[in-house]
Chains A and B, each alone.
Chain A
Amino acid sequence: MKKLAILLVVALVAAAPFVVGGYETNVLMNALLYVILATGLNLVAGYCGQFSFAQGAFYGIGAYTTAILSRDLGTGFWFNFPVGIAVAGLFGLLLGIPALRLKGHFLAIVTIAFQTIVYLTLSQWTSFTGGQTGLPVPSIGPVSLFGTTLFEITSLRSYFWFTLVIAVILLFAVWRLLQSRIGREWIAIRDDETLASAVGLDTTRGKLTAFVGSAALAGAAGVITAHAMRGVTPDDFTIWISATVVAMMIVGGKGTFIGPIIGAVLLTSMPEFLGGFAEYKMFLFGVLLVITVTLLPEGLIGRVRRLRERFS
């Protein structure tokens, strides 16, 4: 039953470009990318309890990896995609190391410092990253198997479907991971780290894998974005992006599988609901964040679940 519902939702999303225009398709694609980003953050912050303000930095690292590879080595998407994920994951590992010693506030501040350093490097190391102008990135182009071209990824629709496929694969992988031993280890670390290590769990490994997984997902989103936008610029990877991803996870409900997905879709399409109040978008964003944290600490999903329990 549940599987059927999921299939139906995916099929409906996949059919969307036939019904709606390019603008809506574009918004949906942005939402999908944010779903990947927020789900990634949820691994480390929601399940493992290690707060991070650096998702935008990993997103940028993935995007710039593919841009620099295709500029310097001329490699295409299918080579760059795994490399981008790996490089972002590697930086995740690097940021995970301080997380072994720091908690809460300290970790949050280290991730902010990391985000700021990555942004300043992307925008100032002009000879390597193209500086503020950024770098051009080619389209993914034709996809062929055994010498025959299957389809071509150049148009917006094809990028949308491609992103959808990748997002579904990644979400499925995350879901399986959460069911596995490692996922349960993360939750144990979040709930009580001392207890987790007392019963013999390897908390070091647990935290590091959460950071790597989180960064790798962001890296994947970054590589796709770079090709879809046909370019990268540092201002797409600011601390505001990180903050937006945090907000999506919080508003939807951290530590739940579906929460960050809902949050990402809601906040990506928020400007649509504002109409004439678009000018107040950022202001409302801040207010929304305060209200959610104060009144709905478990996010929308947590609240919905609570209500359902009460009525059943």
Chain B
Amino acid sequence: MAPFSRRQMLAIIGASVAAPSIVSAQDTSPIRIGGMLPLSGPGAIEGHQVVKGLEFAVKEANEKGGVFGRKIELVMEDDESNSTKGVTAVRRLIEREKVPFIIGTYPTAVVIAASKVAAEYKVPMLSGGSTGAGATDANTPGDPWFFRAWPDSNGQGEDTARAIVRQFKAKRVAILHDATNYGVTLADQVTKVVTAEGGEIVAKESYNTGEQDFSSMLTKLRTLKPDVVYIGGWAGDGATIVRQAAEVGLRAQFVGSGSMLSDDFITLAGPASEGFAVATLYESTTPNEFGRAFGERFKAVYKHEAGTLNALGFDSTNIAIEAMRRVGKPDSAAIQQMLKSGMKDFPIVQGPKGATAAFDAKGSVNFPMFIAIVKNGKRTLVES
């Protein structure tokens, strides 16, 4: 097959001839950017949180006058956590909506399928909350089309496991994780690092997301007397586990994965959340001044504290918009080049003070995570 059919060739020639007049005519028309998240079906709860971050970044960019005098318009697609739907949605965003880049999506499995297609179109994608290492590992090193402005789940598992062994001096560790990719990779990584650092894994149990009753599993754990119980999964399930653990009299240091850091978590878990520790990407009391400022602006608009998922969505969108501004035009290939090397000075709201969008060859940004502990119903960061 020839790379271009005659029709397409004619269209391209036509477009290049007509281009100058189109640009001047479109000067004030909004630039459409793409968003793709699970807004129904499994993953909808997380998707709806991430989307707030996207919308907030677009809102702020427009309040500052948009980019090159044009407003930004977010076009959202629902992938329903389904890779067939995700691939179709990517094609729609690129072909119909002509978006220069896509923020999406949350389930790593869908990212892997969808980013292959986006890369064929040479349109960059920025993670909509996906943390699985598989997504960035699927990139061609040195020429990534999928970008994630935070460490992958392996990094998170490693930082957490170190904290478990060194900070909490744990010898006996129990691991509970959900059956999603996120929970499984975290659990495996924690197992590996804890064992390497001299700790012992006394139990490893999985659960399905949305499972309601953990009392018997936790009763069994109580008999194993773990020093630390690690929970890898989402906030709702984590809160249920922590609350029910208090009910069955399981006393141990609880450590959770990065998503368990919203105010919702503390409200839902109640007094049982006291002492709960978590390795986190974002925290509204972060020493990162950009993160703190973001948290305050976010709270003023949405009337609740910004959580990790809000921050993830915000960072991806904010970075992509800034990259487009620096390029000077909504050109996908140029934006990819800019993301690859030109954003090393651009601050992000996650991570420690001074974290920037310095993507590595695989399209990932690496920084150490915080360890935060709940004290008197408030999260407090601990120095490591």
The interface of chain A, by Cβ under 8 A from chain B, is 18, 21-23, 26-27, 30, 120, 123-124, 126, 131-134, 136, 155, 157, 225, 229-231, 233, 235-236, 238, 240, 278-279, 281-282
- Contact indicator B91/A235 (Cβ below 8 Å): no
Q: Does residue B96 face the partner (Cβ distance < 8 Å to A)? A: yes
Provide the residues of chain B in CB contact with A136, threshold 8 Å: 112
Beyond the given pairs A131-B184, A230-B116, 19 more chain A to chain B contacts, judged by CB atoms under 8 angstroms and listed by A's residue number, are A23-B95, A27-B88, A30-B84, A131-B179, A132-B179, A132-B180, A132-B184, A133-B108, A133-B132, A155-B1, A157-B1, A231-B83, A233-B109, A233-B113, A235-B82, A235-B107, A235-B110, A238-B41, A278-B77
Q: Does residue B285 face the partner (Cβ distance < 8 Å to A)? A: no
Provide the residues of chain A in CB contact with B87, threshold 8 Å: 26, 229
Minimum CB–CB distance from A79 to chain B (whole Å) comes to: 24
**Prevailing SS type, chain A contact patch:** helix
- Contact indicator B113/A133 (Cβ below 8 Å): no
- Contact indicator B92/A23 (Cβ below 8 Å): yes
Q: Does residue B39 face the partner (Cβ distance < 8 Å to A)? A: yes
Provide the residues of chain B in CB contact with A23, threshold 8 Å: 88, 91-92, 94-96
The CA-CA distance from A306 to B80 in the complex, in Å, is 37
* Partner pick for A282 among B40, B84, B95, B116, CB 8 A cutoff: B40
The CA-CA distance from A124 to B42 in the complex, in Å, is 16
Minimum CB–CB distance from B366 to chain A (whole Å) comes to: 21
Minimum CB–CB distance from A309 to chain B (whole Å) comes to: 38
- Contact indicator B41/A240 (Cβ below 8 Å): yes
Minimum CB–CB distance from B218 to chain A (whole Å) comes to: 20
Provide the residues of chain A in CB contact with B112, threshold 8 Å: 133, 136, 231
Minimum CB–CB distance from A142 to chain B (whole Å) comes to: 13
Q: Does residue B181 face the partner (Cβ distance < 8 Å to A)? A: yes
Minimum CB–CB distance from A278 to chain B (whole Å) comes to: 7
List the 10 closest pairs (A to B, CB-CB), nearest first: A233-B109, A23-B91, A132-B181, A23-B95, A21-B95, A133-B181, A23-B92, A282-B40, A235-B81, A132-B180
- Contact indicator A236/B83 (Cβ below 8 Å): yes
Bitwise interface map of B from 49 to 77 toward A, beta carbon under 8 Å scored 1, else 0 = 00000000000000000000000000001
Provide the residues of chain B in CB contact with A131, threshold 8 Å: 179, 181, 184
The interface of chain B, by Cβ under 8 A from chain A, is 1, 5, 39-42, 77-78, 80-84, 87-88, 91-92, 94-96, 107-110, 112-113, 116, 132, 134, 179-181, 184, 206, 208
The CA-CA distance from A97 to B84 in the complex, in Å, is 32
- Contact indicator A235/B83 (Cβ below 8 Å): yes
Minimum CB–CB distance from A24 to chain B (whole Å) comes to: 8
Provide the residues of chain B in CB contact with A225, threshold 8 Å: 84
Q: A30-B88, A132-B184, A233-B113 are in contact. Are A281 and B179 (CB under 8 A)?
A: no
Q: A23-B92, A132-B181 are in contact. Are A235 and B109 (CB under 8 A)?
A: yes
Provide the residues of chain B in CB contact with A18, threshold 8 Å: 5
- Contact indicator A134/B95 (Cβ below 8 Å): no
Minimum CB–CB distance from A118 to chain B (whole Å) comes to: 15
- Contact indicator B83/A124 (Cβ below 8 Å): no
- Contact indicator A278/B78 (Cβ below 8 Å): yes
Minimum CB–CB distance from B87 to chain A (whole Å) comes to: 7
Provide the residues of chain B in CB contact with A279, threshold 8 Å: 39, 78
Q: Residue of B at shortest CB range from A131?
A: B184
Minimum CB–CB distance from A129 to chain B (whole Å) comes to: 12
Q: Residue of B at shortest CB range from A285?
A: B40
The CA-CA distance from A136 to B83 in the complex, in Å, is 12
- Contact indicator A233/B110 (Cβ below 8 Å): yes
The CA-CA distance from A215 to B78 in the complex, in Å, is 29
The CA-CA distance from A22 to B87 in the complex, in Å, is 11
The CA-CA distance from A133 to B21 in the complex, in Å, is 47
Minimum CB–CB distance from A67 to chain B (whole Å) comes to: 13
The CA-CA distance from A281 to B206 in the complex, in Å, is 33
- Contact indicator A238/B84 (Cβ below 8 Å): no
The CA-CA distance from A278 to B161 in the complex, in Å, is 42
The CA-CA distance from A231 to B110 in the complex, in Å, is 10
